Chain A
Amino acid sequence: MMIPNRKEYLKALANSGQKIMGVLPALYPRELLWAFDIHAAEIWDPPGEILHANAHLQTTICPIVKRSLEFILKEPDIINAGYLFPHTCDSLQNLGTQVKDLIGVSLPVYTFYNPKGSFNNTTTRYYRDILQNFQLSMEAVYGPLAPDKFLAACVLSHKIDSHLMAIQQARMTDHLSLNNAEYFKLMRAQEYLLPTDYLSLLEQVDILDQPGESPRARMMVSGILPPTPEILEFLDELGVSIVADDLLAGSRRIPKFPMDAPVSPLDYLTDRFFILPPCSTRGGDLDERLHHLSKHMNASQAQGILFDIVKFCEPELFDHRLLVKTLRGKNYPVLTLETELENHISGQDKTRIEAFTELLFEMVSP
């Protein structure tokens, strides 16, 4: 399975005249963008040194926000249709208005509010209104939305979700012959591939009829982004498989259960939003999140959990204490790493990962 390189792929797309919008984390109606022939290229952790962003942001701001701003400040050619800031956390909320109203970029800046807290009918109605308003703001620039295109975009999204759900399920039950690094590379390819390309990629994924070889140990991972490729490779070396995830850039963006094929796009997108797994950034109920985590630990037979927390990420840090406390109470080994998205593993983290995996191995061996 060949996954194109992010930078080269986007460059080629931009050169071909494709409209590309830079989208910040995490939840947004990608289907609406697709319906306007706009490709959503997500900006989570662009590589490179942070130089110019430091003049705009305090040292205590998370590296995702900093890296995103560094990327935006470079005004890269691959982004040609503007930037979209979904409402995810206080830092991204302010970054959106900072870029739009104070720093100023040559491309338009859009925002998208995601309701917070516990949801009810009032929230559902409002979310539908937000979608409609977003549609209107796109129409103001790109002309009327073609209903058939919108429906087709939702159908595509539905297919992608179905494949992702099947792949996740296969991962949990060892029916997938991908190691950690390959698996998360595949998951993250949706951040930049055209949906049709991504779907073709997913269609190529080989789901085994029979379970493959069991890993030496199984773990779940929770946080915003998957562990860095260096950590994933290290876990591969150790023989530990990440069999389930609770990641914002991962399963928290895939519906909890299969949905019927879309008929009315707005209804479909509204329903989809409300059946996403519980997430710190939406201010969801803690019990629900705990329940969700426990369920996936059980279903995947994970022996332990790794919390990979982005430094200064308030949404995750608040929930973290209770999640750790409760999971430890259930005798699950827990490891917490703090990441600044470095492209190496510190000696200390390496030692901690090794010690943690030893613990998991001991749990496996009789």
Chain B
Amino acid sequence: MSIRAEIKYKIMKDYGAPALMALQDFKRRKPRPIPEAFGPPLDSNKRLKEILSRHYFLSRYARGVNKVAWVTSGAPVELLRAFDFYTIYPENHSALVGAKKQGADYCSIAEGSGFSQDLCSYARIDLGHMLSGKTPAGKLPKPDLLFCSNNICQTVLYWYKAIAHELNIPLIHFDAPFVTTEQTEADINYMAQQLQDMIPILERVSGRVFYLDVFENILKRSMETSRTWGAILDAMKAQPAPMTIFDAFGHLAPIVSLRGLPVAQDYYHILMEEVDTRVTQGIGAISDERYRLIWDNIAIWYKVRFLATFFAERKMNFVTATYTNAWAETTGYLNVKDPWNSMAKTYGQIILNNNLKHRLELMKKMIKTYSVDGMVMHSTRSCKPYSVGQFDLRKAITTDLDLPAVILDADIADERVWSEQQIHTRLEAFCETLEGSKHG
């Protein structure tokens, strides 16, 4: 750790970041008009933006103070926190690029260098960033370590291997066996042991010592944060729902990328309070909620605003999603008294690492408890583990629950995949069916 870097980091934390926030505030003084179809926006949005901007801003100065790790969204980051790694989430960054409709640009850079257009666009965007240094976040620090888990997909392992090779840095992989029926004792032991095997490597890379009590505190914080996030999602059972799932896609960022840190824990308390107040006062996210929908799969980042408006104008609100639920679903397994095994259970059983029977039952439960009237599935070109099986999931759900459903073929972050006409036709037909089914 260099003293110069530490002083610089401190100055940026105490003065640079607040100055940046003030500047952003100034720029936002004339907020964009909110379409009539929406209710009042969440006050927490401002705090969310601050937290994320600050995190990306400070990351530029983190090197030399903390070691930097690039981490996948499903990896057990709590362990890294015990060594004070500054963590960057490439998936999150790729989503940001996608939301800014710049996905195709970054993908093209990766494709130009030899990566196939058929690969996940999060990966292509990140590889495009790595090869060019481009980022809408100003500048991102190069990693000292890569940390991935195939509990979301095997893609991340291939993707991180490519970065590790290009940058010649270590990669730690947490192998999470896919749950075909239920986790076996062998699976749990294997994962628990892998976590413990990582400690000496992390000590070496970070130059810091592992303390179990520090780790347990982080775990406790992470548990509490995920629980609060789960409670926020639960609040959307209220009618009208206080948020739309499109809001939740944004508010998901801290639980994904700042999990285990006090800032995420504090943030969700703020959001929880606001959401609770809205529920008590009957304030809805859209002005007239008549239909309640479930979203399946990752967001279409470059079309979030379009989709939010399209549905709100038709008095339709997305009140739940398999995607946002993923960071709350398995938290119940965490147990500070049994950290390794409980982490194996928590991280090993997340939705994308679990069989489709589990997914079907989970979706049916969500549909019932959130009083859902219709389902929109995003079949994303990028993501095989999320998309393979969706056709049969739709069939099972529409048959068993008599629920209207539509599948949108698109991509998470590569806007070139969007077909305006096809999507419009499908959406219009879906809305007609939905309206007919509720009134018919």
Contact = CB atoms under 8 A, between A and B. Distances in A.
Given A98-B392, A101-B355, A102-B356, A314 B162 contact: no
Nearest to B110: A321
Interface in A103-131: 103, 111, 113, 115-118, 120, 122-123, 125-126, 129-130
A312 interface: yes
B392 A283 contact: no
B114 A321 contact: yes
B384 interface: yes
Given A280-B158, A314-B158, A91 B178 contact: no
B310 interface: no
A62 to B, nearest CB: 9
B161 A318 contact: yes
Contact of A318 (B119, B150, B388, B393): B119
B175 A97 contact: no
Given A57-B391, A318-B119, A321-B162, A94 B357 contact: no
B392 A93 contact: no
Contact of A120 (B119, B158, B184, B197): B197
Contacts of A315: 154, 158
Given A90-B154, A283-B173, A58 B379 contact: yes
Chain B interface size band reads 35 or more
Interface in B64-117: 113-116
Contact of A116 (B119, B154, B379, B389): B154
Contacts of A133: 184, 186
Contact of B165 (A56, A95, A286, A312): A286
B39 interface: no
A287 interface: yes
B130 to A, nearest CB: 13
Given A116-B157, A312-B118, A102 B384 contact: no
B158 A122 contact: no
A259 B356 CA distance: 39
A103 B178 contact: no
A319 B409 CA distance: 27
A89 interface: yes
A94 B356 contact: yes
Contacts of B134: none
A314 B119 contact: yes
A58 B175 contact: no
B11 interface: no
Contacts of B155: 90, 314, 318
B384 A61 contact: yes
Given A101-B356, A118-B173, A314-B119, A94 B385 contact: yes
Interface string B188-199: 011001100100
Interface in B352-409: 355-357, 360, 379, 381, 384-385, 387-393, 395-396, 409
B110 to A, nearest CB: 9
Contacts of B180: 96-97, 100, 111, 113
B159 interface: yes
Contacts of A12: none
Interface string A310-328: 0110110111111011000
A95 B177 CA distance: 16
Contact of B388 (A58, A116, A129, A287): A58
A87 interface: yes
A98 to B, nearest CB: 4
A354 interface: no
A285 interface: yes
A55 interface: yes
A56 B391 contact: yes
Given A93-B385, A321-B115, A115 B178 contact: no
A102 B396 contact: yes
Contact of B389 (A97, A113, A287, A322): A97
B326 interface: no
A129 B185 CA distance: 9
A117 B177 contact: no
A241 to B, nearest CB: 28
Given A94-B356, A318-B162, A122 B190 contact: yes
B120 interface: yes
Interface in B138-165: 150, 153-155, 157-159, 161-162, 164-165
A314 B382 CA distance: 10
Given A57-B391, A90-B384, A122-B194, A319 B175 contact: no
B388 A94 contact: yes
23 contacts: A58-B387, A90-B155, A90-B388, A93-B178, A93-B385, A100-B357, A101-B356, A101-B357, A102-B396, A115-B175, A117-B150, A117-B175, A120-B197, A123-B175, A125-B193, A129-B189, A129-B190, A283-B154, A285-B161, A314-B119, A318-B115, A318-B161, A322-B162
- Interchain residue pairs A-B with the least CB separation, the first 6: A318-B158, A129-B186, A94-B388, A101-B357, A321-B114, A102-B392
Given A98-B388, A123-B175, A318-B123, 19 more contacts: A87-B177, A90-B155, A97-B180, A97-B389, A98-B356, A115-B175, A116-B150, A116-B173, A122-B190, A129-B184, A280-B158, A314-B118, A314-B154, A317-B116, A318-B159, A318-B161, A321-B115, A321-B116, A324-B114
